[in-house]
Structure 1
């Protein structure tokens, strides 16, 4: 299984636990605020807001919370002026890591992120040091246990403009240009095909296989970064064997 689809599934399951602790509510609230501030309150012409609203729906965030976050972005309510930053660095064994944050204090966040990289055997790098390894893509994962027909799924995906269709051990992984994300999503919904992951994300061109202590440290680093309140997303190009996972 590719490193990215594996981590996408881990994040999907982990997200449910985070939602219980309220972390997802806070992070999606920030995303809604910034999306509205940059592109307005109409999701029809604001893809970023549309994606944030989808995340909010998937995590059962109350409508009042959603509206409050959007109003903050429009300036109707007082709110923190969040700044968006991307940190790049290397994890154990040189794994490429990208960290997207929203913060109202960049000095605090930079120090925290640097500390976490160092704590788990990595180091923070210069801007641009690993971003060239990643491409922004729409990602869909469909579990084989849903009973979907492989050939039908592949044809529907390709007709909707998919870039790639991978057959993994327990699932199908589809990637598509971000601009065609909703086109494929609507196609799958119309054909009653259930997806376990549907997101616009950063996918690595190459992956590094990890084992032993490096694998353990890498998972701890990913978890620690995602637990940080200012961190919105973490991307990495590791691959860990299923038995070690």
Structure 2
């Protein structure tokens, strides 16, 4: 007996329909990459501006105290920073650091070298120099830099920044101030660019020997309509160091990390690009 097998044919399978036969385009990825690059550049610019704001507050406070009602330079700095939309917490942190600087009274300077040839002077206000030194070493070592004696790469000099209110007589007043400064021992000067288009002050920077700084500052203070925004001794590199390609960003990252430390007042490098 034979069994008859019947084969039932399956219905034909319909071909799959594709919504699109064109290759997938990852346009969003490229767009996001550009957005990230732009955002990164903006964030870096803001970070630099905030660090600069901290330094401006510290400088103004060191020369005239931390009370803006008694320190016209500090009051002018705070007004400008608020107009530039610097966050309040950045301003408050800088003021707290300024109070610490005034209360400690002692400034410790640490020397370091980065990128094999760039000297760095790190000025700090601290009540525990050993602890501060250890923290600075960690920051330096993590970025291939180290503590090293580089004082011979710098000289000390006086620096004064003055401001006058913008107006029809501003240029004439700045010319008169320049003549006065040069007659009282200033060795060089430069006109500083406006910080913003709406900046209410024009500013000039004067350089002098340390022995002249106090008297020159006093004479400039006497001039009506002139505001002393900065008067201090600073380090100047004897010779500027040219950085190899690619090292500029490395050094900038190191400087920003050092400046972010609560004890650090100012960081000066011998690099031509920084």
TM-score, scaled to structure 1: 0.59
Determine the structure 2 residue equivalent to 1:163.
187
Determine the structure 1 residue equivalent to 2:89.
20
RMSD between aligned residues: 3.5
1:205 CA displacement: 2.0
Offset from partner CA, 1:186-221 (integer Å, 9 cap, x none): 443415345665433222222123364311111111
Question: Does structure 1 residue 29 correspond to structure 2 residue 99?
Answer: yes
Offset from partner CA, 1:68-127 (integer Å, 9 cap, x none): xxxxxxxxxxxxxxx7532111122521101122334444322211121122332211xx
TM-score, scaled to structure 2: 0.54
SS of equivalent to 2:134: helix
Q: How does 1:119-138 map to 2 (within 5 A)?
A: 119-125=142-148, 129-138=149-158
Determine the structure 2 residue equivalent to 1:177.
209
Q: 1:215 aligns with which of 248, 256, 261?
A: 248
Q: How does 1:91-110 map to 2 (within 5 A)?
A: 91-110=114-133
Change in CA separation of 1:110 and 1:214 when aligned onto 2, cut-off 3 Å: same
Gaps of at least 5 residues in structure 1 are: 1-8, 36-82
Change in CA separation of 1:120 and 1:143 when aligned onto 2, cut-off 3 Å: farther
SS of equivalent to 1:239: coil
CA contact (8 A) 2:54 2:94 kept: no
Q: 2:140 aligns with which of 117, 129, 139?
A: 117
Change in CA separation of 1:237 and 1:19 when aligned onto 2, cut-off 3 Å: farther
Q: State the structure with more CA Rg.
A: 2
Higher RCO, 1 vs 2 (CA within 8 Å, ≥6 residues apart): 1
Separation in 2, partners of 1:97, 1:178:
20
1:228 CA displacement: 0.7
Question: Does structure 1 residue 154 correspond to structure 2 residue 186?
Answer: no
Question: What is the number of equivalent residue pairs in this alignment?
Answer: 183
